[in-house]
């Protein structure tokens, strides 16, 4: 049986707010000891000289972003990350669509070749030209 990876919804984190360890645990439904370990072992910054420990929302966000990025499976150029499969998948042929955004990114959408879920990724315009001549 594969262990299900936990994803933390960063949208739940309020802007400009200080959290206690207990509040963070509540927020994500995790054990307070997990949060304490983030602080003591995994480098989650806490505000200095606070007891009980307080963590600023921006530090919490940054920490979790980094944590989630580090276990992200990298997609090859032709692959898109499928949320349902939880891994990079090739898009189904003939399902691709491109949307050019005004901010010079290209949104590529398609369907997962395995589970048919909609998948998409945004690519910077310049980068897109390099990779997809
Ligand atoms: Zn899929």
Residue 29 and residue 64 in one domain: yes
Q: Which domain holds residue 99?
A: 80-131
Within-domain flag for 122: yes
Q: How far is the CA of 114 from the centre of ligand 1 (A)?
A: 5
3-class state of residue 12 by DSSP = helix
Asked if pLDDT for residue 108 goes beyond 70, the answer is: yes
Average pLDDT over residues 78-92: 85
User: What is the maximal distance between C-alpha atoms in the chain?
Assistant: 58
CA of 40 to the centre of ligand 1 (A): 36
Which residue has 């007891």 as its token pair? 51
Cα-to-centroid distance, 34 and ligand 1 (Å)? 30
Q: What is the CATH number of the domain that holds 61?
A: 1.10.10
Give how far Cα 71 sits from Cα of 74, 86, 87, 114, Å: 9, 11, 11, 22
pLDDT at residue 112 in the model: 92
Q: Does the residue 18 lie in any domain?
A: yes
pLDDT in tens, 8-32: 888 899 999 999 999 999 999 999 9
pLDDT at residue number 130: 58
The total number of structural domains that make up the chain: 2
Contact between 111 and 118 under an 8 Å Cβ cutoff? The reply is yes
Q: Are residues 91 and 125 in the same domain?
A: yes
- Residue 75 in this model has a pLDDT that exceeds 80: no
User: 37 alpha carbon to ligand 1 midpoint, in Å?
Assistant: 33
Ligand 1 centre and the CA of 82: distance in Å? 5
Q: How far apart are CA 23 and CA 54, in angstroms?
A: 10
Residue 98 lies in a domain: yes
Give the whole-angstrom CA distance, residue 38 versus residue 81. 27
Q: Is the pLDDT of residue 61 over 70?
A: yes
* pLDDT mean across residues, the chain: 84
Confidence (pTM): 0.51
**4 is a domain residue:** no
Clarify whether residues 45 and 26 are in a common domain. Answer: yes
* Residue 58 Cα to ligand 1 middle (Å): 32
Determine, yes or no, domain membership for 7: no
Confidence grade of residue 1 (pLDDT, cut at 50, 70, 90): very low
Domain check: are 103 and 55 in the same one? no
User: Do 64 and 89 have their domain in common?
Assistant: no
Q: How many angstroms is it from 29 CA to the middle of ligand 1?
A: 27
């Amino acid at each position: 049986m594969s262990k299900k990876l936990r994803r933390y919804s960063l949208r739940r984190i309020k802007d400009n707010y200080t959290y206690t360890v207990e509040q963070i645990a509540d927020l994500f439904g995790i054990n307070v000891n997990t949060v304490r370990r983030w602080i003591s072992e995994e480098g989650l910054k806490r505000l200095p000289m606070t007891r009980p420990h307080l963590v600023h929302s921006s530090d919490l966000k940054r920490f979790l972003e980094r944590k989630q990025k580090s276990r992200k499976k990298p997609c090859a150029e032709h692959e898109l990350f499928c949320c349902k499969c939880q891994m990079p998948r090739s898009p189904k042929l003939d399902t691709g669509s491109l949307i050019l955004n005004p901010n010079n990114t290209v949104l590529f959408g398609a369907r997962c070749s395995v589970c048919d879920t909609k998948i998409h990724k945004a690519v910077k315009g310049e980068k897109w030209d390099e990779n997809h001549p």
